Structure 1
Amino acid sequence: MNRRTLLMTGGWLGAAVFAVLVGLGAITVIGDGLTAPETRPLSAAEVADELARQLAVSPSASVGTGDRPPSAPASAAAVTRTFPTRAGTVVARCAGTRPEVVSMSPRQGFELHEQDRGPQDDDAEGEFRGRHDGDDRIKFEIVCRGGVPALIED
């Protein structure tokens, strides 16, 4: 090969490497803006921090059964409760009289169909539906009774 061919080949390879590096740099710089923070998975440390924060906010939170709330909340802070249903688990809280669905986790064979998270002025609601049978569904509402969330199945 002659000197000119080697220079052209080297130039093309250099340009290709430079273009790849510029592209990777651009992705690194703008990559955080491509996905919203609420769509990225939480790390184990972030999950532990959130759980610790939830427990600090409502140390008296308990597993609920149906729409029977405990007598009165221990403090004016938001009270969080977990409600197991036939189709999945619902975690809800009340900040005063405003209900909010914190999370919904469907059981195997069900999927999350709709979720009106809140906080709402009257109620927050959601629905689980069977994956194979769309008629198999559990609809529910979260209401606040005395500052404590209660689940009402439709």
Structure 2
Amino acid sequence: MNRRTLLVAAGWLGAAVLAVLVGLGAISVIGNGLTSPETRPLSAAEVADELARQITGSPSASAGTGARPSSPPAPATTAATRTFPTRAGTVVGRCAGTRPEVVSMSPRQGYELHEQDRGPQEDDAEGEFRGLGDRADRVKFEIVCPGGVPTLVEDHDD
């Protein structure tokens, strides 16, 4: 009986080792793309370049490295776009001629998006961040387009 128990245990151990080896082989074959350099994190400069390319719709310097634009090229009348950091978050503004637009607003931790004008505006495009804990903590701003260049003007009236 003792010999039989030893033989069964050895069989189970062999089957377990074989199962682990087959699993590792399958992960090696299937997971080759999971650890390849194509999935490495982007640097801050690459993220900024990709965002600028997405917003303006024009190809960037990274397009020559094999990256393909995800949107068609911009029409002949391209809009000027700029990113503005504020104490409450980041604002991306654009000018299509003299018509300003708040493209996006990303609040910092502790703030939330309260107001945002959508689409191009006739005179100025406005937005507002508010503090989560202190609703009186506000950052209001306008995007204006003097000379077709987006400019952020913070509203300090509060």
1:83–1:51 distance in 2 versus 1, CA, 3 Å = closer
Task: Identify the residue that residue 94 of structure 2 maps to in structure 1.
Answer: 93
Counterpart CA distance in 2 for 1:118 and 1:58 is 23
What letter is aligned with 1:88?
A: G
Count of residues in correspondence between the two structures: 92
TM-score between both structures, scaled by the size of structure 2: 0.52
Counterpart CA distance in 2 for 1:96 and 1:77 is 9
Counterpart CA distance in 1 for 2:104 and 2:151 is 14
SS in 1 for 2:150: strand
Task: Identify the residue that residue 152 of structure 1 maps to in structure 2.
Answer: 153
Q: Are residue 110 (structure 1) and residue 111 (structure 2) matched?
A: yes
Q: How does 1:55-134 map to 2 (within 5 A)?
A: 55-57=56-58, 77-134=78-135
Counterpart CA distance in 2 for 1:77 and 1:85 is 26
Runs of at least 4 residues off by over 2 Å: 48-59
SS in 2 for 1:117: coil
Counterpart CA distance in 2 for 1:149 and 1:140 is 12
Deviation at 1:57, TM superposition (A): 3.8
Q: Which has the larger radius of gyration?
A: 2
1:55–1:120 distance in 2 versus 1, CA, 3 Å = closer
- Identity among equivalent positions (%) equals 71
Deviation at 1:88, TM superposition (A): 0.2
Which ranges in structure 1 are unaligned for 5 or more consecutive residues? 1-47, 60-74
1:83–1:56 distance in 2 versus 1, CA, 3 Å = same
- Determine if contact 1:80/1:149 at 8 Å carries over to the other structure: yes
- Determine if contact 2:97/2:148 at 8 Å carries over to the other structure: yes
TM-score between both structures, scaled by the size of structure 1: 0.54
Aligned CA-pair RMSD: 2.5
1:131–1:115 distance in 2 versus 1, CA, 3 Å = same
1:128–1:82 distance in 2 versus 1, CA, 3 Å = same
SS in 1 for 2:87: coil
Counterpart CA distance in 2 for 1:84 and 1:93 is 14
1:58–1:120 distance in 2 versus 1, CA, 3 Å = farther
